[in-house]
Amino acid sequence: MRHLYTLLILAFLTVLSACRTDFETVASSGDLIFSKDTVYLDTVFKNISSSTYQLKVYNQSKKDISIPNIQFENGLNSKYRMSVDGNTGTNGKLFNNITLLAKDSLYIFIEVTADVTDTNTDDFLYTDKIVFDSGENQQTVELVTLVKDAVFLYPQKNSDGSKEKITVEGQEIEGFYLDENDAQNGNELIFNNQKPYVIYGYAAVPENKTVEFQAGTRVHFHSNSGLIVGKNAALNINGTISSTKALENEVVFQGDRLQPDYSDLAGQWGKIWLTTESKTHHINHLTLKNATEGLQIENQPQNVNAIQNTQIYNCVNYGILASNSNIKAENIVINNSGKANLACYGGSYTFTHCTFNNNWNNASQTSVLLSNTDFQNPSTNLALNHANFYNCIVYGTYSNELTLIKQEKTVFNYKFDSVLIKSNNKDIAADSEHFENVILNENPKFYNSANNQLTIDKTSSAVAKGNTNYLIPIDILGNNRTTPPDLGAYQNQDFPEKK
């Protein structure tokens, strides 16, 4: 009973405290403490809002204080907006007489929508300050944002307000056709490195046309966006070797959220879809990351699609999903996919000096999947004419990173020659028809697979284990391979010291 009485008193005191409205405050003395002295907001494209960033303000004194005003240095003309403990003040720009209790804190949330014309011409930074108290006790927090100019490609709005749609293989998709005579952008079928591109919805290549991506092109896809190459259309990606870590000559496909938290977040955009009736495609020096599916290639058994020196990272489902198609690939790296890095359902495939590694946290994931069934209709068989892997690495987290799905009455031809494989399939060692010079379950010692760094050093089990008959003289980074060559896409190199 005594405990109940004590609880009632505590509850009564809590109610009285909650009902208090007559705070006795003193003016801020300029001793506020901030969680950051500078807030670096994400890089934004012109007139597109940034993500929201947080600043925490502390009153470490024993007195309740009143901050006369909180505002931007640029006043009501600032391109930044903020809320202070959930209040938006005057247009999200100006706040007066903000109470901050003793030993308490308040949250400020900040975002920005700016244009390149608002920036400094030398560095394209848009800057401002949050000013606390415009009097003699003034304190400030710096705000910095990099603003990029970009080419925006998106579906038009119909008269009823709905978005433009296209029909692809019987599906109606929010999207648009690239226009080689666009009044504003010029030839939209030629992407260059002058400005980054931001795509909303699915950009489709018109019939009988070819879309070209020149060296150094940067393409940012919004959520649920991608590229579709349809009937009698073709894709040419013409990246070249870069000399710095900036990959200045690489073609890069990624999402449009550029803050660090999104740099390796899968599923930010859709896929590159090379449809049934499209023509032969050529891809060289492409880095594709954070998609739902990377490349989806369908029903092209006669077209030999060349994919070279290409990196695909962090896809929700597949890095490459190929169905009844024909691919010749050299120096490919695919890391981390929710279902499979590479899935081949029927068709003809040759992969030479490729690295497939899957550390996705999903027990059903695999690194390489081969099947002679139809991807969409597993009861339908598709001949796997050949799936040849030479001088490759097939590795990952789990005990079996090679999955074979075989229907007995349909062609299922495959060959692994000079390949490091992680597999618990006990038949591999005795199956000389399909596996030759295979290294089983040895760690290739990637530099840092969690950060998509799959280079190897001289201690790797993959060093000098390749077959010179399948030698690609230059690795994905432009380094000369030795003989016998190393397995995978990279010639071994000395690792930099990890920090």
Q: How many C-beta atoms surround the C-beta of residue 367 within 10 A? A: 31
Q: What is the pLDDT of residues 14-50, one digit of tens each?
A: 444 444 444 467 777 788 999 998 898 878 887 788 8
Lookup: tokens for 319: 């890095």
List phi, psi (to 5°) of 5. Answer: -60, -45
pLDDT for position 302: 87
pLDDT for position 184: 87
For residue 117, pLDDT over 90 is answered with no
For residue 476, pLDDT over 90 is answered with yes
CA distance 462 to 440: 11
Lookup: tokens for 97: 């007489």
Least confident of 105-109, 258-262, 359-363, 481-485: 258-262
Laid out side by side, the sheet with 53-59 consists of 33-34, 53-59, 104-112, 80-84
Which amino acid, one-letter code, is at 403? T
Cα 485 from chain centroid (whole Å):
31
The residue among 370, 374, 378 whose CA lies nearest residue 415 is 370
pLDDT band at 13 (very low <50, low <70, confident <90, very high): very low
pLDDT band at 192 (very low <50, low <70, confident <90, very high): very high
Q: What is the pLDDT of residues 259-301, one digit of tens each?
A: 788 889 999 999 999 999 899 999 999 999 999 999 999 998 8
What's the mean pLDDT in 307-325?
98
What's the mean pLDDT in 408-435?
94
Lookup: tokens for 311: 């990196």
pLDDT for position 208: 96
Contact 282, 273 (CB under 8 A): no
CA distance 446 to 443: 8
DSSP 3-state of 487: coil
For residue 110, pLDDT over 90 is answered with yes
Share of the chain above pLDDT 70, in %: 94
CA distance 211 to 188: 8
For residue 317, pLDDT over 60 is answered with yes
pLDDT for position 479: 96
Query: In sequence order, which residues have a C-beta less than 8 Å from that of residue 164 and are 6 or more positions away?
Result: 155, 156, 157, 158, 174, 175, 176, 201
What's the mean pLDDT in 300-313?
95
Q: What is the pLDDT of residues 320-350, one digit of tens each?
A: 999 999 999 999 999 999 999 999 999 999 9
The pTM for the full model equals 0.82
pLDDT band at 122 (very low <50, low <70, confident <90, very high): low
Query: In sequence order, which residues have a C-beta less than 8 Å from that of residue 344 and are 6 or more positions away?
Result: 322, 327, 369, 370, 371, 384, 387
pLDDT for position 422: 97
Q: What is the pLDDT of residues 451-474, one digit of tens each?
A: 999 999 999 999 999 999 999 999
Q: How many residues does the chain have?
A: 499
List phi, psi (to 5°) of 165. Answer: -130, 155
Regarding the domain delimited by 23-148, which CATH topology (the fold level of the hierarchy) does it fall under?
Answer: Immunoglobulin-like (2.60.40)
For residue 430, pLDDT over 80 is answered with yes
What's the mean pLDDT in 167-183?
92
Element (H, E) at 466: none
pLDDT for position 85: 93
pLDDT band at 112 (very low <50, low <70, confident <90, very high): very high
What's the mean pLDDT in 135-159?
87
For residue 499, pLDDT over 50 is answered with no
Give the mean pLDDT of the chain. 91
Q: What is the pLDDT of residues 443-455, one digit of tens each?
A: 999 999 999 999 9
Share of the chain above pLDDT 90, in %: 73
pLDDT band at 319 (very low <50, low <70, confident <90, very high): very high
pLDDT for position 12: 47
Which residues are 109's β-sheet partners?
A: 54, 83
pLDDT for position 446: 97
What's the mean pLDDT in 347-365?
96
What's the mean pLDDT in 218-245?
95
For residue 3, pLDDT over 80 is answered with no
Radius of gyration from C-alpha coordinates of the chain? 29
For residue 376, pLDDT over 50 is answered with yes
